[in-house]
Amino acid sequence: MTPDKSIIGVVGPCASGKSTLVDALRSKNYHVRHIAQEHSYVSDMWKQLSNPDFLIYLDVSFEISIRRTGTSWKREIFEKQVARLEHARNHSDLFIQTDELNPQQVLNIVLDSLQ
């Protein structure tokens, strides 16, 4: 997939790296939608809002999300986000666990997958 009219959707829990990846892909002229579904109870919101041609799910552990954001939110809130994202996770074209990756590594995995 080259930068064109194809739509790439990016979903995942808070602090998984969605905004950073979206910005990086946009800088390379990809048409990307940041789908903030983790706050919605609509299981297929990702599809209703953008119906992307390629769906990327970025995952992060609770512990790393806390470290990245500096917040003290409860595990229960994080687990609710993960549950809300189950439909998107199950339908994603690319799943990336971002805990041990820096933003450039995540971008490289995505670019390789889009080739």
Residue 29 belongs to some domain of the structure: yes
Please give the Cα distance from 2 to 35 (Å, whole number). Answer: 20
- Domain of residue 63: give its range: 7-114
Q: What is the pLDDT of residues 11-47, one digit of tens each?
A: 999 999 999 999 999 999 999 998 876 655 666 666 7
Question: How deeply is 66 buried, as exposed, middle or buried, from its count of CB atoms within 10 A (0-12, 13-18, 19+)?
Answer: middle
CATH number at residue 37: 3.40.50.300
* Cα atoms found within 13 Å of the Cα of residue 52, Cβ hemisphere only: 24
pLDDT at residue number 86: 93
Q: Quote the number of domains for the chain.
A: 1
Position 100 pLDDT exceeds 90: yes
If you average pLDDT over every residue of the chain, what do you get?
Answer: 90
Report if residue 2 sits inside a domain. no
Work out the average pLDDT over 67-93: 91
6 burial (CB, 10 Å; 0-12 / 13-18 / 19+) is middle
Residue 1, in any domain of the structure: no
Question: Is 48 a residue whose pLDDT tops 80?
Answer: no
Phi (first) and psi of residue 85, to 5 degrees: -95, 0
